[in-house]
Amino acid sequence: MKHKAVDFRCQDIYYERMTDLKFWVIGKVYQTKNASRYAEIAGMWKAGIVMEDIAAQYGVTRQRIHQILKRQGLEREDGGKAITRFRQAHEIVTKQRREEMEREGRCRAKWGMSIAEYKEHIKQWGNSSKFDSPLHRFIIQRKTARCNRKIAWELTFAEWWKFWQESGHWEERGRGKGYGMSRYGDSGPYKLGNIYICTSGENFKDSYLVHSADSRTFKRGMGKKGYYRRGKKFFVVVGSERLGSFKTAKEARAAYKARWAEKYSP
């Protein structure tokens, strides 16, 4: 009986191919099994966790974590401390922008202009400490209207300054024959639509159209303190009449009111 010749070369090729297939299958299974873990490692790295902490959690070395991240195409700036530094820088920039917006809002609420416009105005005309600067004159006029004259003020500095610039009389302002800001009918608040620039004489004529003679006399008389201080005493004067001296300002004011009412009230 004759036996067939065995081709060992074909067997070697067969075993070689089967070995390749075996390792290919094992590799695929291994890749599928670790794909989720690699994704978790990449996510932790992108979240800002350093390699040492990731390695300690999975029980491997730092170099192994580095290999896994490198195979997934992740570089140093894609995660770890770089992300932490980026977040810190982002928080700092966000805080600075928020503070800048708050300062901008406060400046617009207070003066009616942006910080850049305010700085440019200060550079050209001076700040409120300069006696003859627009900002100083605005503060004085607003304080006088609100506190002394009890008149409502609804103008921002930007509106007030623009109104003066458009009038062309800023350099000619002042008491007497100079120009000033007045209200129509000498009544109502200081606001756009109720103000105009005129001389003191024109403003006085305008008041005649609205206020009676008695109210104008009362306004002129009560607009003054009625007394002056010399040393520790207060001296009262009503018109050209001197009432003598008093110990306190309250007594002097009361005496002035009483004498003024007797002399000028109808």
Instruction: Give residue 244's pLDDT.
Output: 83
Hey, what are 232's tokens? 């520790």
- Residue 216 in any domain: the answer is no
195 plus 236 within the same structural domain? no
140 plus 174 within the same structural domain? yes
- Residue 94 in any domain: the answer is no
206 plus 246 within the same structural domain? no
**259: containing domain:** 227-264
Of residues 6 and 178, more confidence is placed in: 178
What confidence category does residue 18 fall into, taking pLDDT thresholds of 50, 70 and 90? low
Domain final residue pick, 47, 82, 117? 82
Q: How far apart are CA 161 and CA 158, in angstroms?
A: 5
- Residue 204 in any domain: the answer is yes
pTM higher than 0.85: no
Domain final residue pick, 82, 104, 119? 82
Long-range contacts of 210-216 (CB under 8 A, 24+ apart): 210/185, 210/186, 211/186, 214/266
- Residue 99 in any domain: the answer is no
135 plus 76 within the same structural domain? no
Q: What is the pLDDT of residues 108-159, one digit of tens each?
A: 999 999 999 999 999 999 988 888 899 999 999 999 899 888 889 999 999 9
Of residues 215 and 203, more confidence is placed in: 203
Q: How far apart are CA 266 and CA 254, in angstroms?
A: 19
143 plus 200 within the same structural domain? yes
Give the chain's domain count: 3
Q: How far apart are CA 154 and CA 164, in angstroms?
A: 16
Cβ neighbours for 18, distance < 8 A, ≥ 6 positions apart: none
77 plus 39 within the same structural domain? yes
Instruction: Give residue 12's pLDDT.
Output: 53
